[in-house]
């Protein structure tokens, strides 16, 4: 009986957590509909609440924004909007800080979060998973002598919080592991380990 109960939990727990996360995302995005006038809200026009409409509206807004910003007129509007935000002191700092991070993360040529590392943290002899985010810059780089890399050490089971460290390159080990595999490893607290990859063997020359 115990074995059957545990087997059932292993099936239902991932499904339940997945549906809870999806329900939270859909419910959050549905709040966008509150911005619409009461007369054109779906629950008023249809007579009942239809979950997921906010998600569809959000996708359409993102696609429409990208379509407009991709042409010359859209680029001028974006430049005008950013120039307007640059005149607001607090908003300028927040906006440009977030923009630089998003541009780096979503850039096809960027190196942030492209490499999975093995680092010693929080003390010597303890190892954990980290992600390379770049190289130290600014005045910090002037005080670091040698070859250093910037790394992000995520916490578990919530990888959105973590620690930013600048470490000597010789102290980090680059892993043959994808970012998705590393995130699963961190979120599962080490339970879901990535498959070990066998290094390619050198081909034998025929004598």
Structural domain boundaries enclosing 178 = 115-187
Confidence (pTM): 0.57
SS3 163: strand
Is residue 66 domain-shared with residue 128, that is, in the same domain? no
Helix intervals (H) in 113-194: 138-143, 179-187
Is residue 6 domain-shared with residue 65, that is, in the same domain? yes
How confident is the prediction along the chain (207 residues), in pLDDT tens digits per residue? 777 787 887 788 878 877 887 788 777 777 776 776 766 666 666 666 767 777 787 788 788 888 877 777 777 887 888 888 778 877 777 877 777 667 666 655 556 678 899 999 999 899 999 999 888 988 998 899 899 999 999 988 788 789 999 999 999 999 998 888 898 888 888 888 887 766 655 555 454
- The number of folded domains in the chain is 2
Q: How many residues does this entry show for the chain? A: 207
| 65 within a domain of the structure (yes/no) | yes
Number of helical (H) and strand (E) elements in the chain, helices listed first:
7, 5
Last residue of a domain, one of 11, 43, 70: 70
The order of strands in the sheet holding 162-168 is 162-168, 148-154, 127-134, 115-120, 173-174
């Amino acid at each position: 009986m115990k074995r059957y109960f545990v087997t059932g939990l292993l099936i239902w727990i991932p499904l339940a957590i997945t549906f809870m996360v999806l329900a939270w995302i859909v419910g959050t995005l549905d709040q966008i509909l509150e911005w619409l006038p009461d007369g054109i809200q779906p629950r008023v026009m249809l007579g009942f609440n239809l979950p997921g409409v906010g998600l569809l509206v959000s996708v359409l807004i993102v696609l429409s924004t990208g379509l407009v910003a991709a042409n010359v007129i859209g680029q001028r509007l974006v430049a005008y909007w950013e120039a307007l935000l640059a005149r607001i002191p607090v908003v300028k700092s927040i906006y440009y800080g977030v923009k630089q991070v998003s541009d780096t993360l979503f850039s096809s040529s960027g190196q942030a979060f492209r490499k999975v590392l093995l680092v010693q943290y929080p003390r010597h002899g303890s190892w954990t998973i980290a992600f390379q985010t770049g190289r130290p810059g600014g005045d910090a780089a002037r005080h670091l002598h040698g070859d250093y890399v910037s790394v992000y050490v995520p916490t578990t089971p919530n990888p959105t919080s973590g620690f930013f460290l600048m470490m000597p390159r010789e102290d980090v080990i680059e892993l043959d592991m994808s970012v998705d595999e590393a995130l699963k490893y961190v979120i599962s607290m080490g339970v879901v380990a990535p498959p070990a990859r066998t290094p390619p063997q050198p081909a034998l020359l025929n004598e």
